[in-house]
Each structure stands twice: as structure tokens, then as C-alpha cells.
Structure 1
Amino acid sequence: MSERMTVGRYLAHALHSVGVQHLFGVPGDFNLALLDEILAADAVEWVGAANELNAAYAADANARMSRRISALVTTYGVGELSAVNGIAGSYAEDVPVVHIVGMPATPAMASGAPIHHTFLDGDFGRFVRIGAEITAHHVVLTADHAAEQITTAIRAALSLSKPVYIGVPLDVAVAEIDADGLGGADMAGDGGAPLAHAADTSMRAATFRQMLRTRLAGASDVVLLVGPLVHRRALEPMIAEIAASSAVRVATQIGAKAALDEGHPASLGTYMGKFTRAAETAAAVDGADVLIVVGAVNSDFTTGFASAGFDPEQAIVLDATTTTASGAVMQLPLEASLALLRDELAALAPSVAHASSVRAGSEPEAPLTPVPPADPATPLDQATLWSAIQGWLDKEVTLIAEAGTAFYGALDLDLPAHSDLLGSPVWSSIGYTVPALLGASLARPDRRSLLIVGDGSAQLTVQELGTVYARGLAPVVILINNGGYTVERLIRSPEALYQDIAQWRWAEVPSALGAPEGSLSVTARTVGELDSALVAADEHRDLPVFIEVVVPPLDAPRLLTALATSISATNGH
């Protein structure tokens, strides 16, 4: 006799079977029965957020850092709409998040009942349609087909690296169904791999292998340009295997910084067209004999405003589900195409004319220009701030950097081995990183998280620090207080009233949000104060650290200044 369980419990076990460990969200009356069933399954851990937007941001970061899918639960209408910006960001940045929405009961929706959280017009599909616009798959579960509907949705998230939407009516959440379909392999495809990987790709693989042999034969220089899909698919180990070949050097896009450890002999650092920090990196990518673009995302920011010096038509492009080479497009998932590339390079490396001496002649990215030691009483600016952070980074870290000053300052850092840079260069929605700190820290409890965020961005979502503290996490937070929206000031109207924000007593915020006794919270206005704060941060590794850093309003890191100039020109300012 088949085991039976409620749809809510089935959903919990299905998520657990593909690696989901934490369920983020906010309760509401239409999802309470669903939450009771999910939590009764004892398969995933509930993480309550301060609001639904923060839950979406936290789930996004959790998926990125765990290299798996993640999930959040909201209530119908008011809850799911609050999460829309976060889910849209996951779609833009190719992050597989399962958005679960508790809905009114099926009969109530069918009858058009005048229920709260609606427009009282009987249209219960309106918010589902909104969800459909920002997800790769959407479904409202029915009791008769819930198991297969859940499997299809999870497979879509896995194979496409995109968010999906699952609506669960109140009556369906508690309806009992057969549990035969549970299991990692059933959820994800053959062998637990995403659905796309289970397809027969042998003929396309053979075609791609032959094309590779033709292109690589006699090649003098092979460069990989790696993008963020490598993170989404947990393919960093394969990139490292490929980089072990003497034939290969590796550069990364800004959304994939440190996909290969930046101290690796094959690392060229980060490539961003004309904004690339090291001339050697730009020359290597633009002049490669064979350029292979792996899991890249091409936007104005990631391409340096389309300033790349290579011809994309001549590159071999490995994408999520397709491979493009020599004018031909093949349906081949990224995992398969990258494995074929690894195997062919391993076989050809002895005969490829790219010896270690060539690699030695192409130095990795130039280190961040050190700032000469300053008098401890010297007021802080961006240069001294980033130099101090660079000197402090000596252990593996999850570095989370807010869009704007923080992210584009962090791109010029050299990260320690086994570290990650988490940001949102495509969606670039300010406020992302404080909730992202929560999700990322839960995904990687084995290493310390460092959040760098601006004052304007922090005011949007800073309340989620309360959840961070309540869960006993011990991150370092560096808040850049530059009196408002510096990146916007650099683009246009620096003195405009709208560039200013309310001034907070930032050093008191952690205490108000429940930071444990003994936590460090200080303000640094001078070089000496920052140095002392960073030393103290190392002495408080088991407790949260909050450092407010005060810098001039119009001061900005190198890369942000260059980008702002380009944005201003592009927007006609």
C-alpha cells in the first residue's frame, strides 16, 4: 500500500530531496495550514524574516551560496507582492528559488468570493499572472495532480537556474496524496541531475567534441571567460580541473569573481571590457587564440558598457542549455559541454603550444594599489578604506557587497582562497545585501561573512540584522556612511535634495536590533580608528561586529567613478 501524506508535507520532503535546508518567509492566514504541514514533516528549517522582500533576498543568497535551490513561503496577495522585487532579481540573476504562495481555498476562489487581500472583483488569478512574468514556471496545485506539479516545478528551477512559482490553496495544502513520487532522482531527473541533463545528448556531444578538436588543434592560447552560471551550477571544481591544464588561463566576469581562486597560477582576475583593472587581463581575453565563454551574463555593467575587445562571434559559448560554436547552436547543458571541454583539453594539453613560460609572462590582476601609511588621525576616504579591508582579508570569507560603492570597491580586492563575492550586478536593487547576509551565512556557516553596505541601501532592509543576531550568527558588517546616495550623486545632480537621507545613529542600531551582549559596534572616522576596529573584529570572531565608516559624500572607488561617468553619458546627463 502506498504511503500517503498531505501536500504540504510532500512539498517539504520534495524540497529536502534536492538539497533545500532552510525555508524563508512570513506567516499569513492563507499559508498557516501549509506552514503547519511543512514544518510537521521535519524536513526543512523555518527561518522567519522581517518582511517578504527580505525573505526573497535571503532565499536568493542562500541558493547562491549553497549552490542549490532554495525556497520561501508568502501569503496570497499582500505577501507575494512584497516579495516580487526579490523574485524578479532572482530571475534576472539566474538564481533557482521556489516561491511558494499560500492561497485561499479552491472553492472560494472558484466562486469569486469577496475575500480580504483581493480587489473584491472575483479575479484570483491576477497575482499568479504577475508571478508568471518573473518566474520560469508557475502552477497552482490541485489535489489530483499535486505530486507531478511539484516535480515539474522543481525540475524547471534546477534545469533553468530560474525561480518558479507554486501556489497552494488552503484545501490543497492539507489534502492527502500518494508519496510514491518522492526522492531526489524523481525530483531532479536521472541520477539526481536536473531534468535537462537526463536527455539523450550523445549525438550533440559528439558534434561538439569534434568541433573542439578542430578549434583546439595547434592553438597557442586558450582563455576561459567564466560567468555566474558556473556558481549557480556548482561547477567551480570543474573550472579548477580545466585550469590545471598548461593550455588554459581563466578570467571571470564581475558576477563570478573568484570562481577560480585568484591566487591560482591560471587566474587572470576579473574582466570588464575597458574597465578591467589589469591591462594583462584585458589583453589576454581580447587577444586569445581560442576564447571560451562559460556561463556568462551580458549586461551593460558586466560587459563594461559593451567595451569588450573580442569578437563574440568567434568565441565558443557554453550557456545553461545551449552551446554555440562556429555558427552552430547545439542543445547541450552547461555541465555536459564543460565536461567535454575538460576532457579534450586534458587530452590535447601536451601538444598545445601554450607552455608554462607563456603563463608566467602573463601576470594575474595587478594588486590593489596600496595606500601609504597615514597618520592615525587622518580622516578616512575610499582609498584608505579599501586598502585597510584588503590588508585585513587573510582568511576565506563570504564577502557580500551592496550595489554601488560597496560592490565596485570590492571588485578591486584580491580575495583569499576559497572565498566568494556575493552581489547583484545585473538587478542592482539596493537593499539586497542585509537580508542576503542572513541567507548566505546560513548556507555557509563554516566561514565568516563580511557585509559591506552603504547607508542609503541599509535603510531599506536593515531590520533583517535582527534575524541575523537572533540566530546566533557572527558576521562583520562595515557600513559606509557617506551621507546618502553617492553613486547617484556621481551620475547627476550631486547636491540635489533627493540624494540625501535621514541621518541615523548607526552605532546604536545593532543594540536596538538585538545584538548579543559583548558585540562590537563602533564608528570609525580616521585611519587609526578603522585599524583599531578591524583588529578588534579579529578578537570578536564569535560575536557580531558592526563598524560604521564615515567617508566624504562625493568620494568613490576607482571602478564606480568610471561606471558612473559612463552611465551619465549613456543617459544623456
Structure 2
Amino acid sequence: MTHDSQVTVGQYLFSRLKDIGVRHVFGVPGDFQLQLLDFIYTVPEMVWVGCCNELNAAYAADGYARVRRIPGAVVTTYGVGESSALNGVSGAYAENVPLIHIVGMPIRPVQEKRLMVHHALPSPGRNAPDYKSYVPLSQNVSCCQEVLWEESEAAQQIDNAILQAYKQNLPTYIYVPLDLAMQPISSAPLSSPLDFEFRNDTAQEDAALKEILDLIYKAKTPAILADIITDRAHSRVLANELVDITQFPAYNSALGHGILDESGPNFVGVYQGYNASIDGVHQSLESSDLVLELGPLRSDTNLGGFSRGLDDSKVISFRPEFIDVCGKKFDGLHMLPLLKKLVKSLDKTKLSATRKASDIKVGTFLPSTKADSSKLNHQTLVQSFIDAKFFQPNDIVVAEVGTIQFSILDAPFAKDTSFISQIFYSSIGMALPAALGALIAAREVSELGLPMAEGAVTPGRVVLLEGDGSAQMTIQEFGTMARFGLKPVVMLLNNDGYSIERAIHGPEQGYNDICPSWKWRNLFSVFGCKDSDIETILVDDPTDLQKYLSRDSLKVPQKVEFSEVILPMLDYPWRLNKIVTRMRGYNMNLIKEYLASRQAKA
């Protein structure tokens, strides 16, 4: 492509996405972006993935982004499409996942004349619509909103939205009037790659590094705790290098499950606050004289019901926005370049640490509500994962928002496992379409040989741990998996309803029931999967589960491997029980304080 050649705005947009490594674009067609979608097919190697609804498309783009560590792209039509996707984009925003939401808008003359065209929202009094009325909806769930209008500014706006999504690890929006998508602009900017490098002020970075090194060298019982933002900030590989160099005891958060190598000699356990951690895990971490806290996301569930027990005067917190050295804040420093310098600068001969992970005594995970070693329940499920050595290096484990996302924390992951689960935002139904995006991302790497982004790990097989209630919300994307010939390992956990909600309130109430008696093992056939391309099994016994998990066919799936696993309705993982109990009391105290405060003001 020469410097003086021209492309349409639509071609420029999808060419730029290809430049950053994107090869698949998710979405649903709609009449205000149909011609825009045509331009996907003019960019070699770009592929359209039509999903069953816009919410699922946003979830799929989220899963794709979490695996590739580059922005996922979703395209919807104006109004009805973009608002349908909003919940999926919100989850990405809450959990720092880079998405680019491209919205096809009515042509510019329709917008200027404020014609009453379908999908528009009338102004008060049923008057002429303001076609930018949906834009404010996106402002709270994205870091950048680019409303394209002038041809002369379109390339710069597109580049900025892509750049901000990558560098801030958050969703951005690009609004494209349909007529503008077809207008020619210069292709010259495409000759210059976007600059994704993270840079810090050198003097400030060096000052922070000196203080950090001094503290590390003096510490006797230090530890390293990795949380999910470590992964989002492209720092996962560096975090593991830091553990290897220092040999400090290592811990992952719930959201960060699998970031630090859980099969290595330095790993202690998953820290979910002092309320929901295995005995020995929280005591050893919280008694450390220095904690290197990497990429924290301090939410209620991630911390076992707001039970973080770390003394911030002994914590060095690394974040993309700032570095906090035991209470001294270095604003504007990004953790990635600082960690690079730290790993390079560390002198092992100056370390004073005397405690090793092998010195720390850790208990075993607690039983679930209906624990019985002779029957299937969350406790025997997790133990079977462990006994069968089911998880493999480079697995992508997608756990649905539900009981499984708590019990799976007790199963140590193999090296370089990617864990996808919305433990913070917790939108039930997210995991199934996210697995679709993860499968496509993994295929891009394995079959197309696309390079991984900085700090990312090579993806392997995709294991989807899905609940029956959650599956009924987004089940259609099994059809998309079948259409694209994808081969996940799916474990459908059938506990007859919304057990995660039953644990919180109303275990016997009808609102926690779901449509009964679905024929789960027939679903892939219903959605177009050939019988020769799927293997199904019903598992309702621990012995059968152990045999199933040990199958060679699961190690490198050649077809869809689908199991329906029967669990008791009222069986709750111990971590979930701990969090629910704590938050119930916590919330009641907040209510009492609130009412007392109101009464005092009355």
C-alpha cells in the first residue's frame, strides 16, 4: 500500500485492527453497519464471526482479548445493537479487558436532519431524536469514545481508540456513520505502526526502583502476591521471573488464579483474604515483613468478603497507574517498565530472605455443604481434578459465574494456565460465549502462527466449566462453536438451578429454579454439530468422573468433549459459604450504621 493510495474509512478501520494482530471480529449484522461489515472481507485474513446476539458477541470479544492480550473487536448496529452489548462491555470495563466496540450509525444527513428513523430514541415530547443520545451510555463503561464525522479526522480517531484500548486495558467505542464508512481517506497512516510501548519518567522510575530494591534486600520474610491486573498489564512473564530470581513464597489471588506458576516449588496457595483462604495461606502472607503486590483488584469476592489482611506499610503495590511503596505513592508510573528494570537490576547475592515456601505449612481445602466422598459434589469434583492431574500446561480454563468459580480455586493449575472467570463483575452467562472467543483466539495462534502480545502465554486447549442455569442464558453460542468447527472440553455442571443464588438467599424459592429437564447432551446436535464431531457422557459418580478425567481423548481434543456432571442442588463450595456468611453480617452492620446515621440527622 503506497503512501499516496486511498482506502475507505471502513477498510482503514479493519486494516488497523489487523495491524495489531486481530484476525476475527465478533458481532451481529444490522442495517446501520451492513456496508461497513463488507469491508471486513476486503482485508485479507480478517474473518467475521456472527454471534447469536450482541451480548454474546461482546462476551466473545472479551474472552478473545483475555487470551490474545490484545483488544477484542465487536461490531453492532446503532441503538438496539449497541445497547444489547452494553452489559458485556461493562464486564470488560470492570475487569480491565481491552475491547473495541464499533457502532454503525445512520448516515450523516439523517442525523443532521434529525429524522425519526428506526432504532432512534425520540427527544422528550416525542420530538426529533438526537442521534448521539446513546453515546453517554458508553461513557461510564469505556475510556474513550470516538464519534467519527469528518473524513480528515477519521484515521486519527480510529488510531486513538485502538491505542487507548491497548494501553489502558479498557473498552473504547468507535461510532461510524454508514455513509462515512464508504468515503475514501489516505492510507498513509497505515505505514506507521501504532506505538504501544509503556514509558515512565526515568528519574521518577529510578527513584522508586532504588527504594524498592532497598526494601527487598532488607526483608527477612518477603512474599509475592499476583492479582489479575498483572496479566492485563502484560506483566505475567515478568512476575514469574521475579519469583524465580528471588525464590520468595508466591501467592495468587482468586482472580489471579494461575498467573504465578502453581506447580512450582515457590507457590504457597490462592489468597482470598483471611476469611476464605486455606489455613496457612493467609497467615503466612499476612505475617510477611514485605509483600510485593502485583496488579491488585481489591473487590469484595476477590478478597473473601473484604477480608484483606495486609499491612500497607509493608506492601509495595505495583499498578498501571501508580506504584505505592509502603505508603509512598509514585503517581504516573506504570508497572510494566518498572518490573522490567526490577528484574534486570536484582542482585540475588544481596537478598536477606530466610523463609522459603517449603517452610510454610498449608492445610487442605474444606468440605463443601453436601460433602460425601462416595458421591459427586464440589469437594469430590475438585479432588478428582487433582487426582487425575487433569489440568495441563497452557490450558485456558473458563469458569462460569457460579459455584464452580469458588471450588475451582482449590485445584492447582499447571504452568502457564489462563483463567477466565468474572469473579468481580459476575455476570451470569458470560463464560460460554467467552469460551467461544477463547477458542478462536487459541486457534489463531496454533493454526495461523500469530505472535502473542507482550507478556502473554501460548494458549492450549479450552476447558469450559459451565453451570446449567448460566448456560440457559447464552446457550446459542454452542451453535457458533459448531459452525466454526471448534473443539472445547465442556463440563456442564447440572445442579438444577441457580445454586450460586440459593447460597445467598432463598434456597427453596421458585425464583432460583430454571427450566427443568433439558436434554443437555443433545444440544450440540440441535445446534448443528455432527454426531461424529462430538462425544457426550453423563457423569453422576466420583469413580466415573475419575475415569472420564483420565481419558487420553481429553488431552488434545479432536472433537467436542461434552460431559454432563450431576451435582447436588444445595452443595456450596466452602469459600462461597465463608464469603456469603461474612458479607451477610457485613451488610447488616452497614444497614444498622446507615439507619442510625439517618435517625441522628432527623
TM over 0.5, shorter chain: yes
Structure 2: distance between partners of 1:379 and 1:203: 61
| Whole-angstrom CA distance in 2 between matches of 1:444 and 1:55 | 17
Selected match of 2:22 from 20, 23, 26: 20
Q: Which residue of 2 aligns with 1:416?
A: 414
The unaligned stretches of length 5 or more in structure 1 are none
Note the C-alpha offset of 1:529: 3.8
1:283 positional shift: 2.5
Residues in 1 aligned to 2:191 and 2:266: alpha-carbon distance in whole angstroms: 39
Deviations 1:438-474 (A, max 9, x none): 0111112352211111111110001101111221111
Residue 353 of structure 1 is matched in structure 2 by 352
Q: Who is 1:182 aligned against? A: 190
Which among 379, 382, 404 is matched to residue 383 of structure 1? 379
Give the C-alpha shift of residue 370 in structure 1: 10
Structure 2: gaps spanning 5 or more residues: 123-127, 447-459, 590-602
- What secondary structure does 2:338 align onto? helix
Quote the offset at 1:41 in angstroms: 1.6
For 2:240, the equivalent position in structure 1 comes to 240
The one-character-per-residue Cα deviations of 1:322-373 (angstroms, maximum 9, x if unpaired) are 11224233311121121232234x22x2121125x6343136x6565799xx
Which of 522, 530, 533 in structure 2 is aligned with 1:516?
530
- In 2, Cα distance between the equivalents of 1:184 and 1:243? 37
Please tell me whether residue 534 in structure 1 is matched to residue 549 in structure 2.
yes
Q: Does residue 553 of structure 1 match 2:569?
A: yes
The question of whether the paired residues in 2 share the 8 Å contact of 1:270 and 1:276 is answered with no
Find out whether 1:84 has 2:97 as its counterpart. no
2:143 equivalent in structure 1:
136
1:49-448 aligned at under 5 Å gives the runs 49-120=51-122, 121-142=128-149, 143-182=151-190, 185=193, 187=194, 189=195, 192-193=196-197, 197-198=198-199, 201-325=201-325, 326-344=327-345, 346-347=346-347, 349-355=348-354, 358-362=356-360, 379-392=375-388, 393-396=390-393, 397-445=395-443, 446=446, 447-448=460-461
Aligned sequence identity (%):
32
- Alignment of 1:496 with 2:498, yes or no, is no
Q: TM-score, normalised by structure 2?
A: 0.88
Contact in 1 for aligned 2:398/2:463 (Cα 8 Å): yes
Partner Cα separation in structure 1 for residue 367 and residue 88 of structure 2: 37
Distance 2:564 2:462 in 1: 16
SS in 2 for 1:301: coil
- What one-letter code is carried by the residue in structure 1 that aligns with 2:222? V
1:37 maps to a residue whose letter is: F
Secondary structure of 2:521's counterpart equals helix
Cα drift, residue 496 of structure 1: 0.8
Secondary structure in 1 matching 2:410: coil
SS at match of 2:44: coil
Q: Which amino acid aligns with 1:258?
A: G
C-alpha distance in structure 2 between counterparts of 1:387 and 1:268, whole Å? 18
Aligned-pair Cα RMSD in Å = 2.3
How far is the alpha carbon of 1:542 from its aligned partner? 0.4
TM-superposed CA distance for 1:571, in Å, is 4.1
Counterpart secondary structure, 1:182: helix
**How much has 1:532 moved relative to structure 2?**
4.6
What is the CA–CA distance in structure 2 between the aligned matches of 1:281 and 1:161, rounded to whole Å? 30
Partner of 1:151, secondary structure, is helix
The 2-side partners of 1:62 and 1:232 are apart by 13
Work out whether residues 204 and 330 of structure 2, in 8 Å CA contact, stay in contact via their aligned partners in 1.
Answer: no
Deviates more, 1:400-409 or 1:219-228: 219-228
CA distance in 1, matches of 2:294, 2:338: 9
1:444 is paired with a residue whose SS is helix
CA offset at residue 43 of structure 1?
Answer: 4.8
Structure-1 separation of matches of 2:9 and 2:113: 23
Classify the secondary structure of the residue corresponding to 2:246: coil
Asked if the contact 1:258–1:421 (Cα under 8 Å) also holds between the matched residues in 2, the reply is yes
How far does the alpha carbon of each residue in 1:472-496 deviate from its partner, in whole angstroms, 9 at most, with x for none? Answer: 1111111111111112112222111
> How many Å apart are 1:398 and its aligned residue?
1.2
- 2:597 alignment counterpart: none
- Residues 352 and 536 (structure 1), Cα distance of their counterparts in 2 relative to 1, 3 Å cut: closer
Cα distance in 2, alignment partners of residues 571 and 33 from structure 1 = 51
Question: Aligned pair in 2 of structure 1 residues 255, 31: CA closer, same or farther (>3 Å)?
Answer: same
The answer for the alignment partner of 2:469 in structure 1 is 456
Amino acid of the structure 2 residue aligned with 1:339 = K
SS for the counterpart of 2:175 is: strand
Task: Provide the rounded CA distance (Å) in 2 between the counterparts of 1:244 and 1:379.
Answer: 40
Number of aligned residue pairs: 558
The alpha-carbon deviation at position 257 of structure 1 amounts to 0.9
2: distance between equivalents of 1:214 and 1:319?
19
**Partner residue of 2:457?**
none
CA contact (8 A) 1:230 1:294 kept: yes
Q: Distance in 2 between matches of 1:354 and 1:375?
A: 42
